[in-house]
Amino acid sequence: RIDHLHDGMGLVTQHVALSSEFEQSMQSIKSHMALPYWDYTIDGEYIRTTSGSDRQGHEESTLFLNSELFTVKWFGRTDSESHVVTEGPFAYQEIPRQYKNISVRSPYGFLRAPWNINPSKYVTRYHKLCGEKVDAVETSNTILSWPNCAVHLGVTNSDETWYYWGMNIGYTPHGPVHAWVGGVGGMCDTTWDEMHHKGWINIKQLHLMKFQAFQILKNMWRAQVIETPKYCSPDTNVSQCMWTCATDKDGNGVTTLSYVQEYFTDNFEISAENKHYDEIINRVLCETPFWPGDQLEAASPVDISFWPIHPTIDRLLQYKHLVRPFRDNVWPNSSTDNCVSGGDCKGHNAYDLTYFRTTYYDSSEKTYKSSYITNEEVRSNHYPNSAYAASFIYEDFLWDHCEDTGHRFKSVNESDAKSVASALC
């Protein structure tokens, strides 16, 4: 159970291809349209500068109340009770549902991940993680801090290899955007809070589990610790569409599985020595229905706010090539090194074809093509030099809002920028 687009070296190039095919779809309707990028470091600086030094500052989830992007003009307003977009051009956007002809789908038949038991047919945004609203100061040392200027400047100026950059760019520099837009809902707010009130876990452990609820669900399904139903009718109550927990070879419960014991010890400091260990594990894994908002899983492209996120990383990569090239551009040949789960890492190897078509300039035939090409070819086509072969250029590589907060992005040499532009002419 490998993620072929995330948690590995293929994240950037696979999403470049996905963005390219989406842009082609837009241009089939209006040829002058282009897919924009969302520089979410602007929002990150807003969060950082409005957070109080008393650690009771600006909560990240209120960003969605104050940002122009989350208004009726752009991504739409989300109702705080139903967690559905109810205002704007994308209000009440439905997730495709097909029980028979889609082999990988949610139990409710939606084009969602198999482990997502969200019963709603609409695009869902929680903007919280199991009810928690976390301010930027509290999360400054976790991967859930909203990316700001310091984060993007850091991954640009660091003396990294392509391998290190590619394996890590999917997390702190962009992952929290998906996390805070989508969030996690269900019953993990109230039922997990009870464990803290009873003294089973401390507040740090509670917050860690809530912040990583999405990872818990995904990783436990990948490790076959939980199995979701194959079919739940549209009117099935979510409590009746719950996943089931695995047992060991002797028929003992999930608490005896070594993977579970190691996972909860390493991530939450909850070991089998905790006298409430069995109760905690059963409460979290086997008794509490919870699920991610759509920005956090396979249905994310149905949420319009998904599409401008990844071009921002492509732009940052092109900028790094221009001002601080990698000291090593090698893409490992060993497939097991190219994703966090190991195995054949299909989708993350240099020679793997992308799952979506990329538009690029074929210099031998002197024309633009749209086809499935390898990850390495996508990367080469987007390398900003005289052989640049992507079908677009970014208007600039400027971060003026970062200059205002003391984070200076080095200027791109004018001749370098012209070489990219001339490649398209």
- Rounded to 10 deg, the angle between the 213-222 and 203-211 helix axes is 60
Task: Report the residue count for the chain.
Answer: 425
pLDDT for 424 equals 55
- Each residue of 320-337: pLDDT tens digit? 999 999 999 999 988 889
Average pLDDT, the chain: 90
pLDDT for 54 equals 41
Q: What is the C-alpha separation between 201 and 111, in angstroms, rounded?
A: 36
**Facing residues of 369 across strands?**
360
pLDDT for 416 equals 63
Q: What is the C-alpha separation between 258 and 255, in angstroms, rounded?
A: 8
pLDDT for 101 equals 80
Question: What band does 55 get if pLDDT is binned at 50, 70 and 90?
Answer: very low
Tokens 């919870």 belong to which residue? 290
CA 398 to chain centre: 24
224 pLDDT higher than 90: yes
- Each residue of 97-144: pLDDT tens digit? 988 888 889 999 999 999 999 999 999 999 999 998 755 335 444 668
pLDDT for 132 equals 85
- Range in 229-233, 295-299, 419-423 with the lowest mean pLDDT: 419-423
192 pLDDT higher than 80: yes
Tokens 């079908």 belong to which residue? 391
Question: What band does 53 get if pLDDT is binned at 50, 70 and 90?
Answer: very low
Enter the tokens of residue 58: 């600006």
**Facing residues of 291 across strands?**
185
Q: What is the C-alpha separation between 57 and 48, in angstroms, rounded?
A: 9
pLDDT for 49 equals 76
- At position 304, the amino acid (one-letter code) is I
Question: What band does 187 get if pLDDT is binned at 50, 70 and 90?
Answer: very high
Distance in Å from the first CA to the final CA of the chain: 44
pTM above 0.85, yes or no: yes
- Each residue of 37-49: pLDDT tens digit? 999 999 988 877 7
> How much of the chain is helix, strand and coil, in % rounded to 5?
40, 10, 50
- Each residue of 400-414: pLDDT tens digit? 999 988 999 999 986
pLDDT for 2 equals 74
- Each residue of 244-282: pLDDT tens digit? 999 887 888 889 999 999 999 999 999 999 999 999 999
CB 312 within 8 A of CB 321: no
Q: Which of 75, 54, 30, 329 has its CA nearest to residue 181?
A: 75
CB-hemisphere CA count at 13 Å for 139? 30
- Range in 126-135, 194-203, 204-213 with the lowest mean pLDDT: 126-135
